[in-house]
A and B are shown apart, each in its own frame.
Chain A
Amino acid sequence: MKINKILLMGNPNVGKSAIFSRLTGVKVIISNYPGTTVEFTQGYMKIGQERPMVIDVPGTYTLEPTCKAEDVACRMVEEGGLVINIIDATNLERNLYLTLQLLEKGMPLIVALNMWDDTKHRGIYIDVKKLEEQLGVPVIPTCGLTGEGIKELIDRLEEAKKKDLPASSDSQKWEKIGKIVEGVQKLTHRHHTLLERLEDLSIKPLTGLPIALGIIYCAFWIVRFIGEGLIGYIFEPLFGKLWLPLLMRFSAVLGEGSFLQHVLIGNLIDGKVNFGQSFGVLTTGLYVPIAMVLPYIFSFYLILGLLEDLGYLPRLAVLADNLMHHLGLHGYAIIPFILGLGCNVPGALATRVLEERREKFIAATLMAIAIPCMAQIAMIIGLVGQRGGKYVAIVFLTLFVLLILKGLILNRVLKGASPEILVEIPPYRMPQIQAVIKKLWMRLSGFLKEALPLVLLGVLFVNILYTLKIIDFFAYIFTPVLTGLWGLPKEAISALVVGFLRKDIAVGMLGPLNLSTKQLVVGSTVLAVYFPCIATYIVLIRELGIKDTLKTTSIMIVVALLIGILLNLIL
Chain B
Amino acid sequence: MIIDLTQMQPGETGIVKEIQGGQGFVRKLQSMGVRPDKKITKVSSHFWRGPQTVEVDNLQIAVGFGMARRIFVEVKR
CB distance from A149 to the nearest CB of B (A): 21
Q: Among the listed B28, B59, B60, B66, which residue makes an inter-chain contact with A203, where contact means beta carbons less than 8 Å apart? A: B60
Contacts of A322 in B (CB 8 A): 46-50
Chain B residues closer than 8 Å to A321, beta-carbon distance = 46, 50-51, 62, 64
Given contacts A64-B27, A66-B28, A205-B47, contact A318 B57 (CB under 8 A): no
Known: A61-B32, A94-B31, A424-B32. A318 touches B53 (CB 8 A): yes
Contact A91 B58 (CB under 8 A): yes
- The CA of A47 and the CA of B72, in the complex, are separated in Å by 51
Among A66, A204, A423, contact of B61 (Cβ-Cβ < 8 Å): A423
A306 interface hit (Cβ, 8 Å): no
A222 to B59: give the CA distance in the assembly, Å.
31
Q: How far is the CA of A322 from the CA of B61 in the complex (A)?
A: 16
Contact with B along A194-230 (1 / 0, CB 8 A): 0000011001110010000000000000000000000
Indicate whether A424 sits within 8 Å of B50 (C-beta atoms), given known contacts A62-B27, A64-B27, A205-B44.
no
With a cutoff of 8 Å between Cβ atoms, the chain B residues found around residue A423 in the complex are: 61-62
Contacts of B43 in A (CB 8 A): 200, 203-204
CB–CB B67/A420 < 8 A: yes
A78 at the interface (CB under 8 A from B): no
B61-A424 in contact (CB<8A): yes
Task: Classify the secondary structure of A's interface with B.
Answer: helix
A199 touches B27 (CB 8 A): no
Residues of A near B47 (CB, < 8 A) are 205, 322
Check B62–A422 contact: CB distance below 8 A.
Answer: yes
Those of A81-123 within 8 Å (CB) of chain B: 90-91, 93-94, 97, 122
Query: Which of B24, B45, B48, B57 has the most chain A CB within a 10 Å cutoff?
Result: B57
B30 interfacial contact with A, CB 8 Å: yes
Q: Which residues of A contact B44 (CB under 8 A)?
A: 203-205, 208
Q: Given the known inter-chain contacts A321-B64, A422-B62, please indicate yes or no for A93 contacting B33, CB distance below 8 A.
A: yes
Once the chains are docked, how many angstroms separate the CA of A331 from the CA of B28?
A: 18
Contact with B along A415-453 (1 / 0, CB 8 A): 000011111110100000000000000000000000000
Name the CB-closest residue of A to B29: A422
Contacts of A199 in B (CB 8 A): 60
CB distance from B53 to the nearest CB of A (A): 5
Given A94-B33, A170-B30, A321-B50, are A422 and B64 neighbors across the interface (CB < 8 Å)? yes
Tally chain A residues at the interface, Cβ within 8 Å: 34
Judged by a CB distance under 8 angstroms, whether A264 is at the interface is: no
B45 contact set on A, CB distance < 8 A? 205
User: In the complex, which residue of chain A has the Cβ closest to the Cβ of B53?
Assistant: A203
Chain A residues near B24 (CB, 8 Å)?
Answer: 66
Q: Does A502 contact B (CB under 8 A)?
A: no
- B63 in contact (CB, < 8 A): yes
Chain A residues positioned under 8 Å from B49 (CB to CB): 322
Which residues of B19-38 are within 8 A (CB) of A? 24, 27-33, 35
- Within the assembled complex, what's the spacing in Å between the Cα atoms of A425 and B48? 20
Q: Do residues A425 and B62 form an inter-chain contact, with CB atoms below 8 A?
A: yes
Complex CA–CA separation, A321 to B51 (angstroms): 7
Name the residue of chain A whose CB is nearest to the CB of B48: A322
Distance between A102 CB and nearest chain B CB, rounded to angstroms: 14
Q: B-facing mask of A383-409, CB < 8 A → 1, else 0?
A: 000000000000000000000000000
Chain B nearest CB, measured from A95 CB (Å): 10
Confirm or deny: A174 has a beta carbon within 8 angstroms of a beta carbon on chain B: yes
Identify the closest chain A residue to B62 (Cβ).
A318
Q: Give A385 Cβ to nearest chain B Cβ, in Å.
A: 36
Which residues of chain B are near A91, meaning CB under 8 Å? 33, 57-59
**Which chain A positions have C-beta within 8 A of B60?**
199, 203, 424-425, 427
Closest-CB distance, B47 to chain A (whole angstroms): 6
A319 to B32, CA, bound (A): 20
Evaluate contact between B58 and A90: CB separation under 8 angstroms: yes
Q: Does A262 contact B (CB under 8 A)?
A: no
* Cβ contacts under 8 Å, A503 to chain B: none
Please tell me if A352 contacts chain B, counting CB pairs below 8 Å. no
Chain A residue nearest in CB terms to B31: A61
* A140-151 interface code vs B (CB 8 A; 1 in, 0 out): 000000000000
- Shortest CB–CB separation between residue B23 and chain A, in angstroms? 10
A-B CB contact pairs (8 Å), 28 listed:
A61-B31, A62-B31, A66-B24, A91-B33, A91-B57, A91-B58, A91-B59, A93-B57, A94-B32, A174-B30, A203-B43, A203-B60, A204-B10, A204-B43, A318-B46, A319-B46, A322-B46, A322-B47, A420-B66, A421-B64, A422-B63, A422-B67, A423-B61, A424-B32, A424-B61, A425-B53, A427-B59, A427-B60
Given contacts A61-B28, A318-B46, 11 further A-B contacts (CB under 8 A): A66-B28, A90-B58, A93-B33, A97-B31, A204-B10, A204-B44, A317-B62, A321-B62, A322-B47, A330-B64, A421-B62
The 7 closest A-B pairs by CB, nearest first: A420-B64, A61-B31, A425-B60, A318-B62, A204-B44, A94-B33, A322-B50
